[in-house]
A and B are shown apart, each in its own frame.
Chain A
Amino acid sequence: DTVMTQSPLSLPVTPGESASISCRSSQSLLHSNGYNYLDWYVQKPGQSPQLLIYFASIRASGVPDRFSGSGSGTDFTLKISRVEAEDVGLYYCMQALHVPPAFGQGTKVEIK
């Protein structure tokens, strides 16, 4: 199975500053079609997960441009520019190329 490893697992951030989360896959997520099958989700307290990014770098509908995804192959990054209080939550990466799809452990973003 593909193993997804996120770091850090806890990320205290000052509002207005930027934050970055790393996600590493044990196998390449690059499909022959040129897309990396890597999603990012956020789960806010008491809510279901919400899609932020798919294909490693494409923002989902309605997601602010403060959120950006990058990377290819096995190494990926989610960046949140100008963190706001509403960004608090658990952030997960997920690979969707190999069965079974697998999530990272989650990174808890909190406000300092």
Chain B
Amino acid sequence: QLQLRESGPRLVKPSETLSLTCTVSGDSMRSSTGTWGWIRQPPGKGLEWIGSIHNDGTTYHNPSLQSRVNMFIDTSKNHFFLNLSSLTATDTAFYYCGRHSIWVGMTDYWSQGSLVTVSS
């Protein structure tokens, strides 16, 4: 059974960069033919796709965030990473990592999610 766990700071200051790590366990990331993604949800609101990354490093970004998003992957250590720069209060959200089994869809495994608050 695949498990994903995201880790990183829970409180970040405005204008700083959020760095999150997603650790995959239960199987090698290299066994997956889909992509690995980041999705967020402001408290009490809906879901927003941030971006996804393939095992070969190919990335897909949400254009609304593209200039602030950087993703990379280390399949040898079963990790993938998200950096989101120039934070503002509107970036306060629950951040989830997940596995997409079909390109950027069919997200069949999700992390528990962590609330990241942007505040001074």
Contact = CB atoms under 8 A, between A and B. Distances in A.
Contacts of A48: 96, 110-113
A60 B110 CA distance: 14
Contacts of A94: 47, 105
Size category, A interface = 20 to 34
A101 B105 CA distance: 8
B107 A103 contact: no
Interface string A91-112: 0101111011111111000000
Chain B interface, DSSP helix/strand/loop, else mixed: strand
Contact of A99 (B47, B96, B104, B108): B104
Size category, B interface = 20 to 34
Chain A interface, DSSP helix/strand/loop, else mixed: loop
A106 B41 CA distance: 12
A33 B16 CA distance: 43
Central interface residue in A55, A92, A101, by most chain B CB within 10 Å: A101
Interface of A: 1, 37, 39, 41, 48-51, 54-55, 60-61, 92, 94-97, 99-106
